[in-house]
Each structure stands twice: as structure tokens, then as C-alpha cells.
């Protein structure tokens, strides 16, 4: 289960359509270890964002190709957020639609990798911690 969770979270952070939250909730409800759920999902999702960072850093010259993962509007929106809020905009790396573009733009703008990694980890791990914490608060009284 943990490897599946890692892989789905990884794919969800790239441009492939995947919803890791559904699997996180399912794993928690099936009684799997909450800490391992959190760690698996957080690591997978953060490493998926590293893929976006690397794409931004090294593959921008292909942005006008049909297969290129980010379209103009998405890049413009992400670039606006990044210019306005700087590296701290990566705290929104967990957010649908804008998060992937932000991680790509961080690579494109050559943000130091260690800064990128720390901020994105906080964003991704924080989201899963919040989700799992809310699930524990919501369902624990029902199950007792």
C-alpha cells in the first residue's frame, strides 16, 4: 500500500492526472500506519515536484512543442505568482493547477535547489499532515 501511495502521490505532482488524497483517505480508513501514509505521500509528491523543477531548469527551450507539459496560460499565472511572492509562492505547490506550474517556474528561474526542496516539502508534507489530522479528528470520535 505504501509503495502505491508513493507512486500515486508522485504522479499527482507531475502532470499526469492522479488524486493522491483519495488513496491517503482510503489507507487511513483501512487502518494503515498514519505516519507511514504521511511519509509515503509526502516523499512521492515532493519528488514529483522535483521532476517539474528539472523540466523547468533544462527543458524550457521546448516550450512551443505540442508535447510540452505546460501551456502558456499556466506558465503566465505561475510566473505572476512567483514574481509577486518569490520563492514563498512555492508554499502553494500543493494547490491544483497552479502548484505544478510554480514548481516548473522555480526550476526555470533557477531557484537554489535546496531552497526549493525545503519549501516544497513544507507545502506537500503540510498538506498531507493537515488532511490526515482532520481525518483523525473527524473519524476518531465516530469509531470510538
- pLDDT of res. 59: 77
Question: What CA–CA distance (Å, rounded) separates 34 from 25?
Answer: 10
pLDDT digits (tens, 9 = 90+) for 38-69: 999 999 999 999 999 998 888 777 777 777 76
Q: Which candidate, 5, 123, 9, 120, places its Cα nearest to that of 56? A: 120
143, pLDDT greater than 60: no
The domain spans of the chain are: 2-143
142, pLDDT greater than 60: no
118, pLDDT greater than 90: yes
Question: What CA–CA distance (Å, rounded) separates 127 from 106?
Answer: 20
141, pLDDT greater than 80: no
Question: What CA–CA distance (Å, rounded) separates 111 from 134?
Answer: 33
pLDDT digits (tens, 9 = 90+) for 22-34: 899 889 889 899 9
129, pLDDT greater than 90: yes
Report the percent of the chain where pLDDT is more than 70. Answer: 92
- pLDDT of res. 144: 46
In terms of average pLDDT, the best of 55-59, 68-72, 73-77, 80-84 is 55-59
Cα(first)–Cα(last) distance of the chain, in Å? 25
pLDDT digits (tens, 9 = 90+) for 89-113: 999 998 887 888 889 889 988 899 9
Amino acid at each position: 500500500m505504501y509503495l502505491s501511495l508513493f507512486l500515486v502521490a508522485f504522479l499527482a505532482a507531475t502532470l499526469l492526472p492522479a488524486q493522491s488524497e483519495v488513496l491517503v483517505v482510503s489507507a487511513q480508513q483501512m487502518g494503515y500506519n498514519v505516519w507511514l501514509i504521511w511519509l509515503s505521500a509526502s516523499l512521492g509528491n515532493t519528488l514529483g515536484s522535483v521532476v517539474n523543477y528539472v523540466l523547468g531548469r533544462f527543458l524550457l527551450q521546448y516550450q512551443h512543442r505540442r508535447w510540452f507539459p505546460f501551456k502558456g496560460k499556466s506558465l503566465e499565472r505561475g510566473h505572476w505568482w512567483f514574481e509577486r511572492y518569490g520563492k514563498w509562492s512555492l508554499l502553494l505547490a500543493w494547490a491544483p493547477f497552479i502548484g505544478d506550474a510554480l514548481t516548473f517556474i522555480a526550476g526555470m528561474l533557477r531557484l537554489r535547489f535546496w531552497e526549493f526542496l525545503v519549501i516544497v516539502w513544507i507545502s506537500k508534507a503540510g498538506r498531507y499532515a493537515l488532511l490526515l489530522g482532520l481525518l483523525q479528528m473527524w473519524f476518531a470520535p465516530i469509531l470510538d
